[in-house]
Amino acid sequence: MNKATRKAIIAGNWKMNKTATEAKELISQLIPAVKQADCEVVICTPFTSLCTAVELCRGTNIHVGAENVHFEKSGAYTGEISADMLVDLGVEYVIVGHSERRQYFAETDETVNKRAKAALAAGLKVIVCVGESLAQREQGVTEELVRMQTKIALQDVSAEEMQRVVIAYEPVWAIGTGRTATSEQAQEVCAAIRKVLGELYGQAVAEATTVQYGGSMNAGNADELLEKPDVDGGLIGGASLKADAFGAIVAAASK
């Protein structure tokens, strides 16, 4: 992490876990667990827990995010949620392009870009996920792939809007598998992402943008990953569902 030039952010991605009742319980444990944080703390919850999360986190250092957003403003899109709906609830962040959305819900680089633009236009902060599959890593195309995903996701996103964009490097083979990228692998790809940001927006924007690592980050490996200069935080799945584990990762990012 390089806290002198950019914000360190630890964001939890709860995925499809916790009812609103269970969310209340977890958030009541998270508030004391992260209150000493010297980094930004975000929890991205299912839509059904957002109201509860916004209400309980008001006046604390926990920021609330959603896990997805639709790109249209309104209309006949049964089951979808717009960016304005999230803003109206008091939601601040949204994840777009998570690999589970790409894998199970036909998300493409183009729809990731549309979601990012819609979210930014509504005033949200956006966590854009990119990352290669195991086959792509073995084929030696990780860097090209991640460069392409980043470029397409950010098409028509302005340098000014980049102040509200976070990139999460999440190798698909490391998500929910217990298999973490080595700190060298995480550093290499996070640095490659920063290089693309430099090409697109110039050095100042590249240096100011938070690039997270995500993929089985936990209390045991957070220190080593976060000490790499281009790893500015983490997007945390499984370990964000336990207050002590999430608190320990936040503590690692607060050093």
Binder of ligand PEP out of 33, 130, 236, 245 (CB under 6 A): 236
Toward ligand PEP, which CB reaches closer, 18 or 201?
18
The reply on whether position 149 binds ligand PEP by CB under 6 A is no
Q: Is residue 175 packed enough to be buried (19+ CB in 10 Å), middle (13-18) or exposed (0-12)?
A: buried
Binder of ligand PEP out of 176, 202, 220, 229 (CB under 6 A): 176
Binder of ligand PEP out of 216, 226, 231, 246 (CB under 6 A): 216
Tell which positions 15-34 bind ligand PEP, by CB under 6 A. Answer: 15
CB of 238 to ligand PEP, least distance (A): 4
Task: Please state, in angstroms and rounded to a whole number, the distance separating the CA atoms of residues 9 and 169.
Answer: 13
What residue number has its CB nearest to ligand PEP? Answer: 237
List residues with catalytic annotation: 98, 170
Q: Is residue 254 packed enough to be buried (19+ CB in 10 Å), middle (13-18) or exposed (0-12)?
A: middle
Q: What are phi and psi of 28, to 5 degrees?
A: -65, -25
Half-sphere exposure of 66 (CA within 13 A, CB side): 27
Q: Residue 117: beta bridge partners?
A: none
The reply on whether position 45 binds ligand PEP by CB under 6 A is no
- For ligand PEP, which stretch binds (CB under 6 A), given 26-34, 110-118, 136-144, 236-244? 236-244
CB of 64 to ligand PEP, least distance (A): 16
Task: Spell out the residues 6+ positions from residue 198 whose beta carbon is closer than 8 angstroms to its own.
Answer: 205, 206
Binder of ligand PEP out of 170, 226, 231, 246 (CB under 6 A): 170
Task: Please state, in angstroms and rounded to a whole number, the distance separating the CA atoms of residues 253 and 241.
Answer: 18
CB of 168 to ligand PEP, least distance (A): 7
The reply on whether position 237 binds ligand PEP by CB under 6 A is yes
The reply on whether position 217 binds ligand PEP by CB under 6 A is yes
Where helices occur in 131-234 by DSSP H, the ranges are: 134-138, 142-153, 183-201, 203-208, 222-226
Handedness of CA 184, 190, 194, 196 (dihedral sign): positive
**Interacting residues toward ligand PEP by CB under 6 A:** 13, 15, 170, 175-176, 214-217, 235-239
